[in-house]
């Protein structure tokens, strides 16, 4: 039987980096391929925490909404 030691620091950084790459690609590809706002995906993430009131158009920058989205997104990315 093989045992291994999990490197929690590496696992956490891997989650953060993967989360950042995914978010950056999504914010670039949504406007390019779907014609939407780059702020749409973060608003959809924030709606999980803040409710659907953050979804109505236009999808513009809002610091509170973005902070909620980033908090949720990176916690889930690390997990």
Structure confidence by residue, pLDDT tens digits, 38-60:
999 999 999 999 999 999 888 88
Q: What angle in degrees, to the nearest 10, is found between the helix axes of 8-29 and 40-50?
A: 120
Structure confidence by residue, pLDDT tens digits, 23-41:
999 999 999 999 989 999 9
Report whether pLDDT(2) > 80: no
**pTM of the entire predicted model:** 0.81
Residue found under tokens 């659907």: 52
Interatomic CA distance for residues 16 and 24, integer angstroms: 12
Query: Which residues, at least 6 apart from 32, have a Cβ–Cβ distance to it below 8 Å?
Result: none
Ordered by start, the domain boundaries in the chain are 8-78
Report whether pLDDT(1) > 80: no
């Amino acid at each position: 039987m093989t045992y291994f030691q999990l490197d929690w620091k590496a696992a956490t950084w891997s989650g953060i980096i993967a989360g950042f790459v995914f978010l950056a690609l999504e914010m670039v590809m949504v406007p390019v391929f779907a014609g939407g706002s780059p702020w749409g995906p973060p608003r959809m993430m924030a709606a999980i925490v803040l409710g659907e009131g953050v979804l109505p158009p236009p999808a513009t920058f809002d610091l509170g909404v973005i902070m909620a989205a980033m908090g949720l997104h990176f916690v889930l990315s690390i997990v």
